[in-house]
Amino acid sequence: MNFTALKDELRKNFQLCSKTADTKSLQPILENVIIKAGDDNNITMMSTNTEVSTMITMKADVSEQGITAISAKIGSEILSSISWNKDENIEFIIKDDTLLIKSGDSKFNIPVINYDAYPEIIPVSEGSSFKIGFANLKNAVRCVKSAVSKDFLKENLKGIYIEMEDENSFNFVATDSRRLSFKRESVKSVALGDGKKNVLIPGTVMDDVAGIGEDVEEVMCFFDNKNISFYLNNIVITSSLIEAQFPNYKMVVPEETKISLKLDRSLFINSLKAVMPVARLENNCVEIALSKDCMIFNASSPDAGVASQKMHLTDELTGEVEPDFRIKFNIKYLSDAVSSIEGNEIEFKLIDSVSQAVIKEIDRTDYFSIIMPIKLY
């Protein structure tokens, strides 16, 4: 194998591909990135942890075809260590069971790794599919990812659920059982076969896909009953689908609420920030006392004392508020929900002091977050 490529482009692609190499695997071969030089002046980099795989193709001047494996960790460190030199190109040469990496005055000789045991990576390329603008996908993930469960025992809550009920738009939903986030985004095309109509994708994978984004305008997705592949220009990310049943999230969406407040988003966020240092010390708990003309945010901790912030209501509250109305929430959940809203005004809807709250943008139905309260004692 012998090829020359642009150093910075190869470094960027190699480091991206390295993210799915499994450095903790019981199969040492999975700690590597496969590099294949083809006859079309392209090289392809591949890595997998058996659940997720990445395949990246880039242009190169291929003098001799071939394939090799290189440690993801060592390769990333080598490419980073020579990023400063002025030579724009880097050369990979295999000779006598040694991989030679050259760039400018820098040279590295690495023993060739036997790649025969490396599993074959086959992206999904047919069957059900949809195309979505990258900006739409990125926005959907941004709005709901904070609600993905971090509990590895709750398999059905570890992903983002994509509900394909409409040929023009999809619903993206995530929940950790204490909160739920919903975002509807438009799609460019849909072609559903006889298999799954809705998919549950690991939240970490969706976050990685949404984080690529450089010069990507749209994402083509193919999926079957087991896997999904995201095609982003020269990058293909393939992931196993979560086969556990996502809960019926519509059961927790209230049909009606009794109290509705129109709030300035910035004032609400600043009020949360004012009491957050104390709330963080007491399980992120914040109590909201509500009256007709104001909200008072209270947080207390044995170590840090008491913090209180009054927020005057700029719009009239709709509904009847009981005297001494108080409700407690996880302050981080409130902050995450409001931060996902881009508009200046939010709607905060309540049923009572023991039921779920709804947070959404004024006059919009494409995003909402539902948060369960903390029990008052």
Alpha carbons within 13 A on the beta-carbon side of 334: 29
Q: How many whole angstroms separate alpha carbon 133 and alpha carbon 372?
A: 32
How many other β-carbons are positioned within 10 Å of the β-carbon of residue 343?
Answer: 12
Please tell me the predicted confidence (pLDDT) of residue 377: 62
Every domain of the chain and the residues it spans:
2-111, 128-250, 255-371
Q: What percent of the chain has pLDDT over 70?
A: 98
Maximal C-alpha separation, the chain: 83
Cα dist from 332 to 10, 148, 178, 282, 286, whole Å: 39, 14, 12, 12, 9
Q: Tokens 């809550």 — which residue?
A: 157
pLDDT tens digits for 106-164?
Answer: 999 999 999 999 999 999 999 899 999 999 999 999 999 999 999 988 999 999 999 99
The two three-digit tokens of residue 251, written as one number: 């059961």
Write the CATH number of the domain with boundaries 128-250. 3.10.150.10
Q: With a cut of 90, say whether residue 35 has pLDDT above it.
A: yes
The two three-digit tokens of residue 88, written as one number: 């724009």
Instruction: Determine which of 55-69, 185-199, 239-253, 352-366 has the lowest per-residue pLDDT on average.
Output: 185-199
pLDDT tens digits for 43-71?
Answer: 999 999 999 999 999 999 999 999 999 99
Task: List, in sequence order, the alpha helices (H) in 280-367.
Answer: 331-339
Please tell me the predicted confidence (pLDDT) of residue 298: 96
Instruction: Determine which of 79-93, 116-130, 252-266, 296-310 has the lowest per-residue pLDDT on average.
Output: 79-93
Cα dist from 143 to 13, 182, 343, whole Å: 27, 8, 13
- Same CATH topology for 2-111 and 128-250? yes
If pLDDT is split at 50, 70 and 90, which confidence band does 178 have? very high
Give the orientation angle of helix 203-210 with respect to helix 134-144, to 10 degrees.
140
DSSP 147: G
Beta partners for residue 325, in sequence order: 290
Please tell me the predicted confidence (pLDDT) of residue 139: 96
If pLDDT is split at 50, 70 and 90, which confidence band does 211 have? very high
Contact 278, 301 (CB under 8 A): yes
Q: Is residue 4 packed enough to be buried (19+ CB in 10 Å), middle (13-18) or exposed (0-12)?
A: middle
If pLDDT is split at 50, 70 and 90, which confidence band does 39 have? confident
Contact 130, 170 (CB under 8 A): yes
Q: Is 255-371 CATH 3.10.150.10?
A: yes
Q: How many whole angstroms separate alpha carbon 89 and alpha carbon 196?
A: 45
pLDDT tens digits for 357-377?
Answer: 999 999 899 999 999 999 876
DSSP 166: -
Please tell me the predicted confidence (pLDDT) of residue 62: 96
Average pLDDT, the chain: 93
Q: How many whole angstroms separate alpha carbon 367 and alpha carbon 339?
A: 12
Write the CATH number of the domain with boundaries 2-111. 3.10.150.10
Q: How many whole angstroms separate alpha carbon 314 and alpha carbon 318?
A: 12
Q: Which of 312, 324, 319 is nearest to 353 (CA)?
A: 324
* Phi, psi for residue 306 in degrees, rounded to 5: -125, 140
Q: Tokens 């599919």 — which residue?
A: 129
